[in-house]
């Protein structure tokens, strides 16, 4: 039976060859089209031999009162698993609701806290890892592939980028080669080495799924399908040239385990942070003092922007570099130091990488036109709590604007002072179409169709001139922050 199938196949191929030859095409002409460039699967053995000696296992512990070890006590690997991927401590069966209290007078000793990975940056013992691996640890132990073990000192860590540097007292250590992330291509093979669940020197491989993946964190990530699990955190992502291109940091998972999506911190960003940590033990980061939001397609069209781009300024912090430079709520920052801002998350990354005290150029879209400004970048500090506007003083009886579905009134002098506004119109009640646009009672209308509305009279005058067949932008203030919304007037 098998032989007959082979014979039939041979005949059909022969007929195809004759047919093509008869038409003058020749069989050879179809070979380039059907024979794609196929390479064999990569062999990672040489890469493992080359990079493996530079990858370390990291164990951390914290001081805690000595207590009796109970059955089913969670081990370090599972504790790290729950803390990193679920964001909560692992529950213990013998104390579901109340934390166990140490006995009075008991001594303290190091208790296991977590496990992770890292890689050697310099021959004299500087090791890079994730900040979440060593954060809060009282003791850090680094184990080399040759089984030598060292007590490490935390040089510095940066939670915003999740990068940390620790130091061990050793010399002549094998170091990794740092790669060029800009050369990394989607679809390229990459490899990870780490200690998933404490299994030291485990190797996994896959491809780059995406670059510049915005997950809402401070840095854009490299997305891969390399198998990453708890304990891999802090280990290197390696290209086929044996160069480190990222630090394995996160996974996307609904179960807590690997589901085919993992994220790595780009090594160029990590090295920039590590250099500051090694020099000063901390990271200096620039700031403007604004709260920003994404510019939607609808807002861009209503404001006359050619496309949805830039960072919408929702609020300006009092006394900040932004306020001193003249930035206002409702501005859209299009460029920083000549570099275009395609999405709002680009701005904090650009500013954060700028040295505090630098005088930088801004390009801003304000009420239908471009405005060039300069700002002196400040130093990043903890966000201040948002102060809500007080409604202690009731505004006077409102005026109805039927076209927009609003009942509005003038701001009192006290409200203007509290909100630091020159003018505006307070929303007392909403109906269609204002409610559909997301406007709420208590909002303050600052501008309609890119024109300021300092009072009710100005708002009514602008409303009367609207083209009711087209949506129009509305700049509102809510609490401390401003935002754009698009409203469709009643015809």
Which residues have a catalytic role annotated? 132, 162, 233
Q: Name the residue with tokens 């020159």.
A: 422
Q: What is the dihedral of CA 46, 229, 147, 271, to 10 degrees?
A: 70
User: What pairing do the DSSP bridges indicate for beta strands 481-487 and 472-478?
Assistant: antiparallel
Residue 72 structure tokens: 């089913």
* Cα distances (Å, whole numbers) of residue 120 to 151, 206, 236, 477: 15, 23, 10, 50
For 424-488, give the DSSP string: -EEEEEE-TTTTTTT--TT-EEEEETTEE--SHHHHHHHHHT--TTS-EEEEEEETTEEEEEEE-
Q: What would the 3-class secondary structure string for 193-237 be?
A: EECHHHCCCEEEEEEEEEEEECCCCCCCEEEECCCCCCCCCCCEE
Start-to-end Cα distance in the chain: 78
Q: What are the phi and psi torsion angles at 238 (to 5°)? A: -120, 135
According to DSSP, the residues that pair with 451 across neighbouring strands are 448
């Amino acid at each position: 039976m098998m032989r007959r199938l082979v014979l039939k196949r041979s005949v059909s191929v022969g007929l195809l060859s004759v047919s093509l030859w008869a038409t003058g095409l020749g069989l050879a002409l179809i070979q380039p089209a059907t024979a794609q460039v196929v390479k064999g699967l990569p062999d990672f053995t040489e890469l493992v031999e080359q990079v493996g000696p530079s990858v370390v296992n990291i164990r951390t512990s914290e001081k805690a009162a000595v207590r009796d070890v109970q059955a089913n006590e969670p081990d370090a690997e599972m504790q790290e698993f729950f803390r990193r991927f679920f964001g909560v401590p692992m529950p213990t069966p013998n104390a579901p609701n109340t934390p166990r209290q140490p006995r009075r007078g008991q001594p303290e000793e190091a208790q296991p806290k977590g496990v992770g990975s890292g890689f050697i940056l310099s021959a004299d013992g500087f090791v890079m890892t994730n900040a979440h691996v060593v954060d809060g640890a009282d003791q850090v132990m680094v184990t080399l592939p040759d089984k030598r073990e060292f007590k490490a000192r935390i040089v510095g860590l940066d939670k915003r980028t999740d990068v940390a540097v620790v130091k061990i007292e050793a010399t002549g250590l094998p170091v990794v080669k740092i790669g060029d992330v800009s050369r990394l291509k989607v679809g390229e093979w990459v490899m990870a080495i780490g200690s998933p669940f404490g299994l030291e020197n485990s190797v996994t491989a896959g491809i780059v799924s995406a670059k510049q993946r915005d997950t809402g964190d401070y840095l854009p990530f490299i997305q891969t399908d390399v198998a990453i699990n708890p304990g891999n955190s802090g280990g290197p992502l390696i290209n086929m040239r044996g160069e480190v291109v990222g630090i394995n940091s996160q996974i996307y998972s609904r179960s807590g385990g690997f589901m085919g999506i993992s994220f790595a911190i780009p090594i160029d960003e990590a090295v920039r942070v590590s250099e500051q940590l090694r020099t000063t033990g901390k990271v200096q980061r620039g700031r403007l003092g604004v709260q920003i939001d994404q510019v939607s397609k609808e807002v861009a069209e209503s404001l006359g922007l050619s496309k949805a781009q830039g960072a919408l300024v929702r609020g300006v912090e009092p006394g900040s570099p932004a306020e001193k430079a003249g930035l206002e709520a409702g501005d859209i920052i299009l460029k920083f130091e000549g570099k275009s801002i395609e999405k709002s998350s680009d701005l904090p990354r650009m500013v954060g990488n700028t040295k505090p005290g630098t005088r930088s150029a801004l390009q801003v879209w304000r009420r239908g036109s471009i405005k060039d400004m300069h700002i002196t970048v400040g130093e990043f500090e903890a966000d201040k709590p948002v102060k809500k506007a007080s409604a202690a003083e009731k505004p006077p009886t409102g005026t109805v604007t039927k076209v927009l579905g609003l009942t509005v009134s003038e701001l009192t002098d006290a409200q203007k002072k509290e909100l630091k506004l020159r003018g505006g119109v307070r929303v007392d009640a909403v109906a269609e179409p204002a409610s559909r646009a997301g406007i709420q009672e208590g909002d303050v209308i600052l501008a309609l169709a890119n024109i300021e509305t300092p009072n009710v009279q100005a708002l009514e005058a602008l409303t009367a001139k609207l083209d009711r067949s087209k949506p129009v932008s509305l700049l509102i203030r809510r609490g401390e922050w401003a935002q754009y919304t698009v409203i469709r007037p009643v015809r």
